[in-house]
Structure 1
Amino acid sequence: MHLHNVHIKNIKQANEDDRLAIFVGAGISKSSDTDYLSLPSWSDLITELKSDLAITEELDYLKLAQLYYLEFGEQTYNQTLKKYFPEDITPSSLHRTILKVSPRVIITTNWDSIIENAIEQEGYLYDTICTDKDLVSSTSPNKFIKIHGDFKNHNIVFKEDDYLNYSRNFPLIENNIKSIFSTHTVLFLGYSYNDINLKHIMKWMQSHSSSAPPMYLVNFKTDKPQESYLRNHGITTLVLDSESYSIDEIQHLEKRSALTQSFLTYIMQDDRAVDPNDEQEVISFIYERIQHLKQLSSITHNQIRGAITNCGFRYDDDGLSILELFKTQGVLTTDNCNTTRLLHEKFLEILSRIDLFCEDEKEKFYRKNSRLTDVLSILALANIKGVILPNDNDSGKIMYFVNEKIGSAQNLEQQDRKHISFSEYECKSNDFIKFLSSESYERYKFGEDELAFKKNSELILACKRHKIYSMLLIALFNKNSILWRLKYSFYKENRKEFEKETEVELQDEFFKFPKSEIKKNQVLYDFLALHSVHQKANECTKKILELTKTVESIKAGGMSFNNNADEPTSTHINLLMFALKNHIMIDQHAPYKAVMRDFVKISVLRQSLKEIVKLNQYEFYSAIQFYSSKELQSELRVFSKNEGSNQLRLNASDECSEWIVSTILPNLTDRLIKDRSLSDGHETKFANSVRLLAFLDLSDTHISKVMSEFSRLITSSSTTIGIYEAINEFLAHQYSLFKREIETDVLINILNTVIDKITSQTAHGWDQHAILNGSIGNLYGYIGVVKGEYTDKDRVRRLVSELETYKPEDQRKFSRSLLYSIFNISNANVRNIIKKFIEGVISQPKTKGIDDWEFEFWSVAVDFKDFETETVKKLDEYLEQFRDGKSFSSQLYSLKRLTQHLISKKGIDELESLNKELGDLIERYKRWPNRSSI
């Protein structure tokens, strides 16, 4: 690389690191000259002073100014100088460009107010420092320092005494400037080789450390002796000429000012420092734009797009993407930069040439140009499988340079499963930062929030210490996610310990980063601040509406064409794995969850015109992880048994089905058995997994494994209503959709598990609720459908023996639910045991509450008792309490159904009038919904 370009890169890097100081001399002020106003040069000012003093010999400028002050006094001295510097001078485009560079410090020896005017007009945040008092009160890290004072503060530095007394008059400013030389790269603009101010500044620099950052002086002619003199003082001269810096578009400025402005513009663009004919520099140019991303374990398409600029993506049906680098004649974008695009063309030429190499030639090239290997490795972190090459044929087929650092989609899926299998993942990295990140995330994932918070706090300190800003930003975001659960979760016992912990103001922390790190991590911040997530949510909503209309149109006979149909799949995988692999605790944030759900909806909608909807493993994971049970039930309704039109089927690859059955379901079962806390959401995830499996045409082997997990979970104390209902739905859909023949022994084994929980007194409230309210009714039904027969009379004897210890009302409930269900699928021996018990319950004295009436009519309905005529009179008396409309019981609905059944199925006409009255009571209640009920 040319030495001049190396110096430009140093200046740019210093600016990105917030360590650039620009010294502005009189030559910059001259850029504001107009036809009617011209600011003085030093020689103009000195000529007038000499004329007024009638001095002809050459004197030192400082001495001349001192003599003028002594001869004419302070007032005349000040008036003479001030008339050359009117306050309303308009800033030039060069002044505005200096501000656009946004150096940490701008220092000037000028007295004019042009830069202040530019700061005010352009709205830049700089504190203006003219006195030590200004420096003390300054709060902004960005400072504009007028080291030679100004007319407003009556403290200009010009005469000899001013320089001699500078340390006494400006002690803080002097020390501050000296410290800047030790910590900042300094760029001098608008100074000539013989500038008196430059010489004075060089005296300050004599004592600064030899290891201080570099200093540069911009000039416009080569003067070897002067350059050697400056180099001896640590200042490198950068000579600007029109061959290196174009000034065609800056005709409004005189040549020197135009060259300076062009030079500063190139500093901001940074790609000017690359020789397009040097392939190593071109490759390094691409690498340097994305190298900061390699700190992460996965990166998004937006991060690549923001870092490289002037690029886009094509998407393949395998879920991977292909990078497209826009050329000078390529796609128009808002970030259009011809220089960048020219370098893209050169990079693509290099890839096209490599693409024709044999394997040995490629290997040699990679060894020589290791940066290209680094580029491909970083692109692989975003699942980018190649770079589109220039297409010289007419086939229209996309040709791309294959990224050998990324495996096949199938291999990537296999690697990704450790992140989406709900298993505990052990980080084996030797990287302490990544180890802490993994530890904190794993504890958070499994509800161990206090330990997660501790590890994350250690991670924050480590990232700050090692200045790993991307990981720090994620850790700060994660702190809030963990704190939210610790402070506000109903299930946390030690909430008070964390109530005083303050949550992170992510934006404030982000803007404390160095300027270069803010730029590098802007896309990451937008994701963590949910800005880009909300944007993606809006895009998904529009996509769903568009697809819905398209489906309706096609069904009506229309046509549709979409040339970017695979984008949602690729983006879904990219955003999902970005969060998981980087341990971002974003799963509880509603916008992100909504986006993940929308990607599943989009996939279903896209395939809904086909007979089969095939989801990939990432879509199955999102359906399990981000849906509530009710939301998923609603989403899956399209796959339910449909007699009216073509049946829509849910499908998965064999590998995916095996993964859900043999990995996800057992992992979730393990988590439920190990931790009964509802706060971690494993119950919902398990139920969602079961509901998804319910619609898959599973093999007998898979069915056996699923039923085994059901049995294992029911045996435990971790069952809930939601789990029983999901199992019930699984059985219903497997039979209705596929007429699945589940082995009788498997079904009866689960039933035995339920019975044993009752007899061993390990059944908790949710178990009993599920049993009594039909939440496992399909289990008995399935045994009947496959012509199974329950024969375990000893187990039933133990069951009824346990039930005999229950209260009468509980015995009636179990008789109507569990016992009668077993009765219907049992042999004669078991039936006799159950019938004897139920008849005993029937014979017990009753209080004739509504539960008693339900049981009474149920006993008649199932032929365990004959109907007694006197029952009509007793029921009529019972209903008296409801006739005034002041009270109501929802169980009247059940009573109405039972009386209707006895009338229509048993021919008991005596109940018709009471059945009608029950209907009237119910209708009246519906019209007065605010009535109390019991």
Structure 2
Amino acid sequence: MVDNFLDTSIKKIKEASENNKLVIFVGAGVSANSGIPTWSELIKSLSKDLGDFDIDKSPELFLKIPQYYFNERGEKEYFEKLDEIFLKNKYKTNPIHKEIFKLKPTHIITTNYDTLLEEAAIEEGQFFHTVKYDLHLPYNNFNKTIIKMHGDFEHRNIVLKEDDYLNYSKNFTLIESYIKSLIATNTVLFIGYSVNDPNFNLIFQWVKNILSSHFQPAYLIENSKEFSRIEHSYYKNRGINILYKNEIEGLPFTDVFNSNNVRGNALYNFLNYFNTFDKRKEINDLEGVYEKLSCFEDLNFIMPDQITKRLNIKSLAYDLFGDRTLTTLENENPLIDIFSNIESFSDKTIFNKISKIFLKANIRGVSTDKELIIEFEDNDDFINSLITKIIKTDSTINPTTPNNLTSIFEGKDYESMLRLGYVFYKQNQFHDSYTVFKTISIKAFKDKKYLIYYISEFNRKHLGNFLMNNSKKISEDLKIEIQDINLEEIYDTLPSIEKKSISFLTDIQNFNFIYKVQNKINKHVNALKNTKRTVENNGFSIDSTLQRSFTELTNIWMFLESNYLCIDIYSEIKSLYLSFVEGIFVSYSTQNNSTGETFFNDLPINKIEELDIFEVYIIMTKLKTKDLSQILTDYNVNEIVISEPALEFVMHTLETLVNDVLNNKIKDKSENYLYNLLTLLSRSKLNVDHANRIGSKLKLLINEEVYFNEFKYINRFIVSSANKNLLNQNLISQLLNSYLNAYLKNRRILEFDTVGLYSNLAKIYADYNSYPLDEDTITNVVNVVNIDYKAENRNLIYNTLQSVVYPIFSILKSEEKEIIKILTKSILEKIISAQSPLDSKTISFYESMLLSNVLEANTSINKLIIEGTCKLIENQNESLKTHPDPIYIGLHALTNMYKFDHLNLEEIKDYLKMLGGHVEYFDLIFNIEGVKLTNLNLLVYINEEEMESLMKQEKFKNSVYELFEEKLEDLTLEKRKDILSKIYTRRYKNL
């Protein structure tokens, strides 16, 4: 017989071990090497006391002699005799036990009564549950068992005599059923038995008779006989593959026992051959590498660390510095040998499979520290295609779901099934997503698609946790179902080959890997900050941190998204993207301030010059808007360059998002995406065409159902673009008309407009003043004013005039202006005739009328405001203060009236002492003695002459210095110098 059969058998046994499908039967031939009597020796010892039967000539006596002894001497003497034989010495484990555990069996079944296997398990650090009688079975906590099918001395339930065998089914009911199921569903290896062993034949025939053709082929190690073709064929036909020791040529010999123990040494060396089989057979490098990596084939993307870990090649690492290659310092290893000798492979099938796995791991090639061995041509195409596919799905917000969901689950297209569950997840339909993944789990488990099964259970657990924490409608039954999902237990019960492909998920499951990536990216961001400081202080830096950060983030993102893992709802994942985006803008905002001629001036700064589609996508989809705004503010990013392809992506996505917001689809997500885009675009360098295309899309959002946040971000973009002269006059006219029409349909719209979108549109329109507003719209607005006035609803008419009409007064036609003037004059006359103190609403209305230049100021009303504010100050009670503060309203209005020439100094000068010291803006404009500045922004409201006067006050001057110095702390040294030389010193050096 050729040794191919033996090699193939060993491979199958080791494969069963890898898949948690190996069951080993251990017979007396193992314990004998520890000095424990064999079954034959036991029977001979009993027979001597009975008359010394010739058991060699009568094998059938093996069961009868113990029975004779029991019947003749009774139970007490029977067990005393057994104790004398087995317990007179303290036996120790032997090297064969260690080799058995190296085979990594899931279950060990033994006919031995001793405790050597339990002791060996402890010595090897293996966790096995020992089953000695039926009631032990339900308490298996380790999923691995040592089954003492013939009992043990401790429980006096050993199987030895004839009655024990005849009553076995009665006495060991559960154990019998359990062993049958294990033999029927696993690969079985018999060690320490021979084909002539009565115990072996009884066990084998017992199971064979019951399971018939369902019996799995078993293997028996025969180390005491020469190979016999007839014997081998006989037992092979009965389902037993005998593996003979003498089939191995040149079997290495180790004398672990004394030289007289031929059988012990033979069995040890045979088992050692099993355990060192891969190394001894020198498996082809190509096949060996593929065998290690094939477990990843069903993943859509693989983390490079998974590849390096599985290959287990010394000094092998994934290069993050830009090349994205697998690099090793050793010039000789299986990986280098394979890719250095590609042409020698006539059949490149396996090689192509390995290459594809590398492509899925974003590995561009293989190299040593000296040279590039191979570069995969399709890598960038594959990765870019994958990125595009993910972005297209995720940024759409509402990917389509099939009409007939049932049809998806009828076939074997698990990719489509997973994608469906993921689509529901992306649509925030978490309960539907949970249900889909539950259905996939059940189906995949039946089909033995364990990777799909685990991914589905992984998602179900995390979706379930999210539902329990965020949904009030979840049923108690569903809560219990979710809590019962134990991913660790599920992982432990999977076949070993499947564990290898998803072991990485266990690191993600407990977020250990996420924390590691987070730490790396944080280090990258800090390095970029150091580079920024170095460069902006005329230093020089060549740093690959940026590329490493990109590769790190891109890989983890592709792994999660392409394998449909539903965990980016967690804060730990979100923080990855936040750090990454911060790194983007640290790099983008880095400026080379060097002015001198040096060698370094000609070297490029390694930084982001423009944002591409991926960066825009991450910014749009993975951040909270407030976090994005804070980053842009922190790094003073005011003009962002977006690449042309990325801008087209933005335009397409914006159209989808506007439609989603209008149709109220996935409201929270689509709004967040929209607000992030507008925040980014408000600080971006756009051309006229792009700005107006964006403005046209935003016009659709200005309707009667608009909300506060929409106003906020629309306003941010419109004002920013108008300040850059990017918006054409026609668009502004359309935006203003849309607002007015929305107001006519829902007059509460102004309550949401806390950011002043309407007034800003009016100011921008007034500056352009070319395209006329819609006449019907203006007529309707004026009609509303008249209706409010006739209704004598003071607050309503104030609000309409102040908030809607006065901002556009300067652009109304003459006849419309005259109507508003007459109506306003009538209101003022009523105010004057009342001669009572003015409340805050009346003061604000009057202030708005003046600042809009509708009518001239009225000295009587001016006096009412001044005296009324003085009276409030005189009678103020801190505990009774209201909001808005009427004193602030009065002083702010008087300041604006004075500043814009609607109040002269003569009218107020006698009251300044009373009015001063309450509102900083008032004190600045009226040059109140002792004012202390707390807000630098207020300086924009005073001219140079006023500034010179204020700086003569020591208290004010010191407060200005303190505020400037506070701000300077946040600036680089060069910027501080610039401020000091151009503003600080020049303006104040002589004061």
Deviations 1:534-591 (A, max 9, x none): 3322332333334334433454566656556523212322222333333333232111
Q: Which amino acid aligns with 2:283?
A: P
Deviations 1:455-474 (A, max 9, x none): 44433433333333333333
Q: Does 1:387 align with 2:365?
A: yes
Query: Are residues 667 and 639 of structure 1, via their aligned partners in 2, closer, same or farther at CA, if it must alter by over 3 Å?
Result: farther
SS of corresponding position for 1:106: strand
Q: Does 1:40 align with 2:33?
A: no
Distance 1:293 1:468 in 2: 13
User: Alignment partner for residue 238 of structure 1, among 237, 243, 249?
Assistant: 243
Distance 1:468 1:413 in 2: 26
Identity %: 23
Could you tell me which residue of structure 2 aligns to residue 729 of structure 1?
Answer: 716
Deviations 1:50-102 (A, max 9, x none): 66667384544445545555666554543444345458544445435544544
Distance 2:250 2:823 in 1: 103
Matches within 5 A, 1:96-111: 96=98, 98-99=100-101, 101-111=103-113
Deviations 1:862-916 (A, max 9, x none): 5433332243233334455533543243444444332233345533434524532
Query: Are residues 801 and 558 of structure 1, via their aligned partners in 2, closer, same or farther at CA, if it must alter by over 3 Å?
Result: same
Q: Does 1:377 align with 2:356?
A: yes
Could you tell me which residue of structure 1 aligns to residue 953 of structure 2?
Answer: none
Could you tell me which residue of structure 2 aligns to residue 335 of structure 1?
Answer: none
Distance 2:482 2:400 in 1: 28
Q: Does 1:795 align with 2:777?
A: yes
Query: Are residues 72 and 564 of structure 1, via their aligned partners in 2, closer, same or farther at CA, if it must alter by over 3 Å?
Result: farther
SS of corresponding position for 1:210: helix
Q: Shift of residue 186 of structure 1?
A: 0.4
Distance 1:656 1:257 in 2: 73
Query: Are residues 871 and 73 of structure 1, via their aligned partners in 2, closer, same or farther at CA, if it must alter by over 3 Å?
Result: closer
> Does the Cα contact within 8 Å between 2:531 and 2:541 map onto a contact in 1?
yes
Could you tell me which residue of structure 2 aligns to residue 542 of structure 1?
Answer: 523
> Does the Cα contact within 8 Å between 2:528 and 2:546 map onto a contact in 1?
no
Select between 739-748 and 175-184 the one with higher mean Cα deviation: 175-184
Could you tell me which residue of structure 2 aligns to residue 623 of structure 1?
Answer: 619
Distance 1:722 1:23 in 2: 71
Deviations 1:585-641 (A, max 9, x none): 323211111112222222333444357543332222221122222111011125647
Q: Shift of residue 345 of structure 1?
A: 4.3
Q: Does 1:322 align with 2:325?
A: yes
Query: Are residues 288 and 71 of structure 1, via their aligned partners in 2, closer, same or farther at CA, if it must alter by over 3 Å?
Result: same
Select between 514-523 and 160-169 the one with higher mean Cα deviation: 160-169
Q: Which amino acid aligns with 1:95?
A: H
Could you tell me which residue of structure 2 aligns to residue 216 of structure 1?
Answer: 219
Q: Shift of residue 848 of structure 1?
A: 3.0
Q: Shift of residue 735 of structure 1?
A: 5.4
Query: Are residues 791 and 832 of structure 1, via their aligned partners in 2, closer, same or farther at CA, if it must alter by over 3 Å?
Result: farther
Q: Which amino acid aligns with 2:567?
A: I
Query: Are residues 797 and 523 of structure 1, via their aligned partners in 2, closer, same or farther at CA, if it must alter by over 3 Å?
Result: same
Matches within 5 A, 1:757-906: 757-759=742-744, 761-762=745-746, 765=748, 767-771=749-753, 773-775=755-757, 777-783=759-765, 792-806=774-788, 807-824=793-810, 832=818, 835-836=821-822, 838-839=824-825, 842-843=828-829, 845=831, 848-863=838-853, 864=855, 865-868=857-860, 869-879=863-873, 882-883=876-877, 885-891=879-885, 892-906=887-901
User: Alignment partner for residue 112 of structure 1, among 95, 106, 114?
Assistant: 114
Could you tell me which residue of structure 1 aligns to residue 490 of structure 2?
Answer: 510
List runs of 5+ in structure 1 lacking aligned partners: 331-340, 355-364, 643-648, 927-934
Select between 102-111 and 820-829 the one with higher mean Cα deviation: 820-829
> Does the Cα contact within 8 Å between 1:658 and 1:702 map onto a contact in 2?
no
Could you tell me which residue of structure 2 aligns to residue 665 of structure 1?
Answer: 654
> Does the Cα contact within 8 Å between 2:216 and 2:239 map onto a contact in 1?
no
Distance 1:246 1:617 in 2: 62
Could you tell me which residue of structure 2 aligns to residue 674 of structure 1?
Answer: 663
Distance 2:703 2:256 in 1: 82
> Does the Cα contact within 8 Å between 1:127 and 1:142 map onto a contact in 2?
yes
User: Alignment partner for residue 655 of structure 1, among 618, 623, 645?
Assistant: 645
Could you tell me which residue of structure 2 aligns to residue 464 of structure 1?
Answer: 445
Distance 2:263 2:811 in 1: 100
Query: Are residues 501 and 559 of structure 1, via their aligned partners in 2, closer, same or farther at CA, if it must alter by over 3 Å?
Result: same
User: Alignment partner for residue 347 of structure 1, among 338, 341, 359?
Assistant: 338
> Does the Cα contact within 8 Å between 1:315 and 1:567 map onto a contact in 2?
yes
Deviations 1:388-413 (A, max 9, x none): 1557xxxx453424154762665555
Query: Are residues 196 and 314 of structure 1, via their aligned partners in 2, closer, same or farther at CA, if it must alter by over 3 Å?
Result: same
Q: Shift of residue 707 of structure 1?
A: 0.9
Matches within 5 A, 1:688-699: 688-699=676-687
SS of corresponding position for 1:187: strand
SS of corresponding position for 1:819: helix
Distance 1:548 1:256 in 2: 70
SS of corresponding position for 2:372: coil
SS of corresponding position for 1:407: helix
Could you tell me which residue of structure 2 aligns to residue 188 of structure 1?
Answer: 190
User: Alignment partner for residue 402 of structure 1, among 357, 376, 381?
Assistant: 376
List runs of 5+ in structure 2 lacking aligned partners: 403-407, 593-607, 924-931, 933-991
Query: Are residues 49 and 346 of structure 1, via their aligned partners in 2, closer, same or farther at CA, if it must alter by over 3 Å?
Result: farther
Distance 2:752 2:269 in 1: 77
Q: Does 1:55 align with 2:49?
A: no
> Does the Cα contact within 8 Å between 1:182 and 1:209 map onto a contact in 2?
no
Could you tell me which residue of structure 2 aligns to residue 438 of structure 1?
Answer: 419
> Does the Cα contact within 8 Å between 1:579 and 1:585 map onto a contact in 2?
yes
Could you tell me which residue of structure 2 aligns to residue 362 of structure 1?
Answer: none
Query: Are residues 103 and 758 of structure 1, via their aligned partners in 2, closer, same or farther at CA, if it must alter by over 3 Å?
Result: same
Q: Shift of residue 723 of structure 1?
A: 2.0
TM score, norm. by length of structure 2: 0.77
Distance 2:443 2:465 in 1: 23
Deviations 1:424-453 (A, max 9, x none): 334688755333433333334334455445
SS of corresponding position for 1:373: helix
Q: Shift of residue 420 of structure 1?
A: 3.4
Could you tell me which residue of structure 2 aligns to residue 745 of structure 1?
Answer: 730
Query: Are residues 165 and 510 of structure 1, via their aligned partners in 2, closer, same or farther at CA, if it must alter by over 3 Å?
Result: closer
Q: Does 1:591 align with 2:575?
A: no
Distance 1:536 1:787 in 2: 55
Q: Shift of residue 687 of structure 1?
A: 0.8
Query: Are residues 149 and 413 of structure 1, via their aligned partners in 2, closer, same or farther at CA, if it must alter by over 3 Å?
Result: closer
SS of corresponding position for 1:128: strand
Query: Are residues 132 and 859 of structure 1, via their aligned partners in 2, closer, same or farther at CA, if it must alter by over 3 Å?
Result: closer
Select between 251-260 and 373-382 the one with higher mean Cα deviation: 251-260
Q: Shift of residue 107 of structure 1?
A: 0.5
Distance 2:273 2:848 in 1: 89
Distance 1:485 1:178 in 2: 43
Select between 54-63 and 618-627 the one with higher mean Cα deviation: 54-63
Distance 1:710 1:269 in 2: 70
Distance 2:151 2:438 in 1: 47
> Does the Cα contact within 8 Å between 1:573 and 1:618 map onto a contact in 2?
no
Q: Shift of residue 128 of structure 1?
A: 1.9
Distance 1:771 1:818 in 2: 12
Could you tell me which residue of structure 2 aligns to residue 336 of structure 1?
Answer: none
SS of corresponding position for 2:318: strand
> Does the Cα contact within 8 Å between 2:585 and 2:637 map onto a contact in 1?
no
> Does the Cα contact within 8 Å between 2:703 and 2:738 map onto a contact in 1?
yes
Could you tell me which residue of structure 2 aligns to residue 334 of structure 1?
Answer: none
CA RMSD of aligned residues (A): 4.1
Choose between structure 1 and 2 for higher RCO, CA contacts under 8 A separated by at least 6 residues. Answer: 1
Matches within 5 A, 1:486-525: 502-504=481-483, 505-507=485-487, 510-511=490-491, 513-516=493-496, 517-525=498-506
SS of corresponding position for 1:503: helix
Larger radius of gyration: 2
Q: Shift of residue 149 of structure 1?
A: 1.7
Q: Shift of residue 418 of structure 1?
A: 1.6
Could you tell me which residue of structure 2 aligns to residue 930 of structure 1?
Answer: none
